[in-house]
Amino acid sequence: MADVQLTVNVVTGALLGTCLDLHRGWLPVHAVGGVVTHLLMVLGVNARKADRLVSTPLELAMWPALPLSPIEQG
C-alpha cells in the first residue's frame, strides 16, 4: 500500500461494484462477507483475523427517535 490514494480507489471501486451487483440481484447477500474478507486481506489483514472481523456480529446502539413534526415536539 505504498500509494494510499490508489488503494482507496481500488477498495472503493470494489465496494461500489459489490453494492451494484447486490442491487441488480447478480450477487447473493451471503457473498458480501467473502468480498469484505478478501478486501481486508488485500489491505494486509491476515486471513484468520479477517474471517473473525467479518463473522463478529455488529452491535449497534439504538438512536432515540427524532420528532417527525413540530406537533410531536411537545
The model carries a pTM of 0.72
* Count of Cβ atoms closer than 10 Å to residue 63 Cβ: 6
User: 1 or 51: whose pLDDT is higher?
Assistant: 51
pLDDT bucket at 35, cuts 50 / 70 / 90: very high
User: Tens digits of per-residue pLDDT, 41-74?
Assistant: 999 999 999 999 999 998 888 887 777 666 655 5
User: 74 or 39: whose pLDDT is higher?
Assistant: 39
What are phi and psi for residue 53, nearest 5 degrees?
Answer: -65, -40
Q: How far apart are CA 55 and CA 70, in angstroms?
A: 42
User: Tens digits of per-residue pLDDT, 8-22?
Assistant: 999 999 999 999 999
Domain boundaries, the chain: 4-55
